[in-house]
Amino acid sequence: MRQGVTPELYEHVAEYRERGGYTEREKLAIEYAERFVLGHLAIDDEFFARLRAAFADDEVLDLTICVSTFLAVGRLLQVLRIDER
């Protein structure tokens, strides 16, 4: 089984709800990242029940660490005005 992601997966991540090509677990992980970044205090028990139904506890922890790390690095780069160039 080939692992990894294609550039197309990243290009259309904002359209994950409408676009095919994402598994249910991928959609849930994207939704988690979106909620974490945009409204972490609104992540409720119902959402965590859905998350835990699809992911093991260690996977939820991994997702949380990845999302929080990328969020932190992104904000660090913005604060220090470091861009892609």
Element (DSSP H or E) covering residue 41: none
**Looking at residue 2, what is its pLDDT?**
60
pTM for the whole thing?
Answer: 0.84
Between CA 84 and CA 57 the distance in angstroms is 34
Q: What is the pLDDT of residues 15-74, one digit of tens each?
A: 999 988 899 999 999 999 999 999 999 999 999 999 999 999 999 999 999 999 999 999
Residue labelled with tokens 């922890």: 61
List the Cα angle 65/72/64 in 5-degree steps. Answer: 20
Looking at residue 25, its amino acid is R
